[in-house]
Chain A
Amino acid sequence: MERHILGYKCRGCGHVWYPNRAVCQDCRGTEFEPVPLPKTGKLLTFTVLHNLAVDFEVPSLTLGIVELSNGNRITGHLKIDQPKIGMKVTGKVEPVRQVGYHTSYGMVFYKG
């Protein structure tokens, strides 16, 4: 089964929010339906982080913000050797953090 990251579509005005919020910023609506976010987009910015929080037993992490094809933006991991602002990327939902027995899934972006 393919995993997705969910956006939240306001039933009042149709705006898709990510992450979810209790009240729509545009129309003050309070009802939302989950919709899968697209997985392709372009890279807005990134960093290579060398001083990591706990649970990350790797020397560095490449983090980025991606603008998805529907206009939503998302923060995720990049598995790209030499990232460039504006490049096209495609995401997969993969494990991103392991705390004890708990695995968190999130968006991991690859070139193309």
Chain B
Amino acid sequence: MRDVYVIGIGITSFSRLEYPLVEIAAYPAVMAMKDCGLSKVDHLFVANMGASRLNHQTGLASALVDHLSLTPVGAETIENGPASGASAIKAGWMAVASGLHDTVMVVGAERMREANNLETTDFVASLTHPLAEQIYGVTLPSLAGMFTRLYMEKYGVTSRHLAMVAIKNHNNAMLNKFAHLHEPITLEGILDSDDALTNNPMVADPLRFYDMCPVSDGGACVILACAEVAKKVKRPLIRLAGVGQATDTHCVHERKEPTDLLAVRGAAAQSFKMAGIKPSDVQVAELHDAFTILEIAESEEVGFFKKGQGHIALEEGYTSLTGKLPINPSGGLKAKGHPVGATGVGQAHEIVTQLRGEAGERQVKNARVGFTVNFGGFGNNVVALTFIKEK
């Protein structure tokens, strides 16, 4: 297989965007083409989860390939729930690694805020099992709430640890102009004061409002290329060195150990093996913190910390921006935002920005190895990517 590099990147703000979905997809694509100086690519993959339901649009890749005047090259839309973004990058990686194409554009785009809160909640809940979960009104936050309660009972994680994840990621997002939430929060405001329950009400007990990611619109793009093309482009050489994916039971209740996220464990192990590195080699990571508990649980499952130790590493500042292994320097899904189909591409955008040394105030010093976890469903389909900066 051939080596695959990320040569160009682009992103929109993750927030409420009042323009059509195809424009949300096109903006980062044009930005990425300018970034690497290419005006054409051999193929387009578009990651999107909800256009048919939320925006009454199907065939998004066909719309985008023409909007970018890239016809007649091939184009496909890839839907893998909230892991669509990393799945589309994986498809792009396969196309370049196999020798089928020399350059592939991967765009993730989502416009969720066109629908109201009820419809969006119901749309995301359609990821759950129709007969054994959905009929009961199970939503993703409710699955996260049940998971958190067990995690607290078993490993001693408290609401304070969860709030610390939120505060860390909100602080990181303050340094990211593309982030959805530019809102500093404090332990006093969301947990300790008399007003905390008003500021930060229960959503899926024990998870509260500030334990949840926002519902975002947004788009992101990465352009992948073979070594020959990558070496001609005058940008730092960032190799997509490891690609891993694993799945788990559709129903959360069928998992033997309900506090395990085996798909995260499996995807990460594959990704590290392909890249030829250990978890301890990673210097910056973007983990899928749709709920605060997930940052802690994933940091353990991928092997950064032992099971049950993630919250202690967090408490000691190990995962903060100036710590030994900064997690979610972009603000994460928690504060950068979560436009579902675009999120995985957004995570790759942040890691490439960090490895290039272009992250400004939130730059992780001398980062050479970066890692992402993009988590679909409640952990039933997970894609993990490893990026290495070459000398």
Contacts and interface: CB of A to CB of B under 8 A. Distances in A.
Interface of A: 18-19, 44-56, 61, 63-65, 73-77, 85, 96-97, 104, 106
Most interface-central of A44, A53, A76 (chain B CB within 10 A) = A53
Interface string B243-280: 00000000111100010000000000000000000000
Nearest to A5: B132
A71 B129 CA distance: 20
Given A47-B204, A49-B139, A73 B254 contact: yes
Interface stretch (B16-24, B67-75, B141-149, B381-389): B141-149
B202 A45 contact: no
Contact of A75 (B125, B202, B251): B251
Given A19-B131, A49-B204, A53-B122, A75 B137 contact: no
Given A49-B139, A53-B121, A19 B149 contact: no
Most interface-central of B117, B121, B132 (chain A CB within 10 A) = B132
Nearest to A97: B135
Given A44-B150, A45-B150, 19 more contacts: A18-B132, A18-B254, A45-B149, A51-B117, A51-B139, A52-B121, A52-B139, A53-B137, A54-B118, A54-B119, A54-B122, A61-B137, A63-B146, A64-B146, A65-B253, A65-B258, A74-B253, A77-B136, A106-B136
B281 interface: no
| The 5 residue pairs across chains A and B that have the minimum distance between CB atoms | A47-B145, A104-B135, A48-B205, A73-B253, A19-B132
Nearest to B131: A19
B201 interface: yes
7 contacts: A44-B253, A44-B258, A49-B205, A54-B122, A75-B251, A97-B135, A106-B135
A50 B135 contact: no
Contact of A97 (B137, B139, B205, B258): B137
Main secondary structure of the interface of A (DSSP, over half): strand
A106 B253 CA distance: 15
B2 to A, nearest CB: 36
Most interface-central of B125, B146, B153 (chain A CB within 10 A) = B146
B203 interface: yes
A85 B149 contact: yes
A49 B142 contact: yes
B142 A47 contact: yes
A49 B207 CA distance: 9
Contacts of A50: 201-205
Contacts, number: 100
Given A46-B146, A52-B121, A54-B119, A75 B133 contact: yes
A53 B139 contact: yes
Contacts of A54: 118-119, 121-122
B47 to A, nearest CB: 24
Nearest to B150: A45
Contacts of B252: 65, 75
Contacts of B203: 49-51
Given A44-B258, A51-B139, A75 B132 contact: yes
Interface string B105-125: 000000000000111011001
Contacts of B54: none
A106 B254 CA distance: 17
B138 interface: yes
Contact of A47 (B117, B118, B146, B201): B146
Contacts of A61: 136-137, 142
Nearest to B133: A75
Nearest to A103: B135
B118 A53 contact: yes
A53 B132 contact: no
A63 B117 CA distance: 20
A45 to B, nearest CB: 4
Nearest to A65: B253
A76 B122 contact: no
Contacts of B133: 75
A63 B314 CA distance: 29
A98 to B, nearest CB: 10
A22 to B, nearest CB: 12
A20 B119 CA distance: 28
A54 B147 CA distance: 23
A96 B125 CA distance: 16
A102 to B, nearest CB: 10
Contacts of B117: 51
A47 B149 contact: yes
B382 to A, nearest CB: 19
Given A47-B145, A51-B203, A65-B258, A96 B135 contact: yes
